Amino acid sequence: MPAYAIARLQDAAPHPDIAEYLDRITATFTPYGGRFLVHVTPHETVEGAWPGAVVMIGFPDLPQARAWWNSPAYQEIAPLRSRHIEGD
């Protein structure tokens, strides 16, 4: 069954770390069958509040999604994003 990594990211000021993160992230999830389904696509909130941008990465299954999240390749670049963009 497909699995999804979903993030709601707050707006961030441009920073070289963010550019590097964006340059490198695809290579971290491709080996696990991951692909961007939504990448900072404009959205409309019809109920409640959902500020920021939405990112969704699809994977073939939950074990692959977890393997990507915990992979050394992703964990190496994750701080490039988390130091500069707040999110859920």
The pTM assigned to this predicted structure is 0.87
How many domains does one find in the chain? 1
Residue 88 domain-assigned?
Answer: no
Q: What is the rounded CA–CA span in Å between residue 24 and residue 29? A: 10
What's 22's domain CATH number?
3.30.70.100
φ and ψ at residue 67, rounded to 5 degrees = -60, -40
Q: What is the rounded CA–CA span in Å between residue 34 and residue 19? A: 20
Give the pLDDT confidence score for residue 21 in this predicted structure. 95
Range of the domain at 73: 3-43+52-82
pLDDT tens-place string over residues 15-70: 999 999 999 999 999 999 999 999 877 778 889 888 888 899 999 999 999 999 99
